[in-house]
Structure 1
Amino acid sequence: MSEKKNVLKDKSFSFAIRITNLYKYLSTHKNEYVLSKQLLRSGTAVGALIRESQNAESKADFIHKLSIAQKECDESIYWIELLFHTHYLSSSEYESISSEATEILKIIRSIIITSKSKNS
């Protein structure tokens, strides 16, 4: 039996891996601990919340969990921007991880909108 492909689950897990590796890099090579720890928390929470949403107790719970994932993803984008503007990330590093976060955010928003329209 083949499991249906879940693009958002896969993308958010890959993003969490990148965030974890970025945290290790920033703390080891740049001696940056505060901003990167905030990014680690929000960036890894996205995938965890998406996983939680898969076991939601209701449609409203599903939307609620994804809404929190949306907030965490947007917060991650904030920390990424701040790390870039304070010169901890190069332009190419920033563009790469920022575009990945933005893509995930757009997918989450789309699912929430679709779910809400089906709910009414």
Structure 2
Amino acid sequence: MENWEAGWDDGEVGESSFDYSNHTKSQFLDDVERRLKLFMVRCVKVCRTLPGSYDGQHFGQQLIRSSSSAAANFRAVRRGRSQKEYFAKLSVTIEELDESLFWLETLVSTDLMPEHRLADLIDEGYQLLKILSKSRKTASD
């Protein structure tokens, strides 16, 4: 199995995940990049609605930084010149996506945002995290 196949849905990701089994490597990479970029845009829009309090602004800035880093680093994954570079950039993407989920969950736990407003976004983040983590595991095998 090639690295790009590792993110294909095997039923573990969730009902709303995309089945990549009939898609080319390019289609898979395009879709994951699109989903990460949309995830980042949605995070930015959430941050625009946060209160101007110190915690609201701080958590919002952290969320924008981590979600935009995840999307940008995945672009770098696609342009990796070696297996080692691919693995390193993919690892950074996963770390930044996981940090984004931390900040989204923090917004809920600190009552800055109701859970029902972030549930779909958090679910999408976890789906992407599972896809990318599986891809990294395959790359290390």
1:25 aligned to which of 40, 49, 66 = 49
* Structure with the bigger percentage of helix: 1
1:71 aligned to which of 87, 90, 95 = 95
CA–CA distance in structure 1, aligned partners of residues 84 and 44 of structure 2: 30
1:101 paired to 2:130: no
Q: Which segment is superposed worse, 63-72 or 4-13?
A: 4-13
Q: What is the one-letter code of the residue matched to 1:104?
A: L
1:80 paired to 2:104: yes
**SS, match of residue 33 in structure 1:** helix
Q: Provide the residue aligned with 1:4 in structure 2.
A: 26
Q: What is the one-letter code of the residue matched to 1:34?
A: H
CA–CA distance in structure 2, aligned partners of residues 97 and 113 of structure 1: 24
2:82 aligned to which of 38, 58, 62 = 58
1:43 paired to 2:51: no
TM, length-normalised to structure 2:
0.75
What's the CA shift string for 1:30-89, capped at 9, x where partnerless? 222111100110011111000011111201100100001100011111111111011111
Post-superposition offset of 1:94: 2.4
Structure 1: runs of 5 or more not aligned: none
**SS, match of residue 113 in structure 2:** coil
- How big is the alpha-carbon RMSD for the aligned residues of Structure 1 and Structure 2? 1.4
1:13 paired to 2:48: no
Aligned residues: 112
Percentage of identical aligned residues: 23
**SS, match of residue 8 in structure 1:** helix
TM, length-normalised to structure 1:
0.87
CA–CA distance in structure 2, aligned partners of residues 63 and 4 of structure 1: 18
Structure 2: runs of 5 or more not aligned: 1-24
CA–CA distance in structure 1, aligned partners of residues 130 and 31 of structure 2: 13
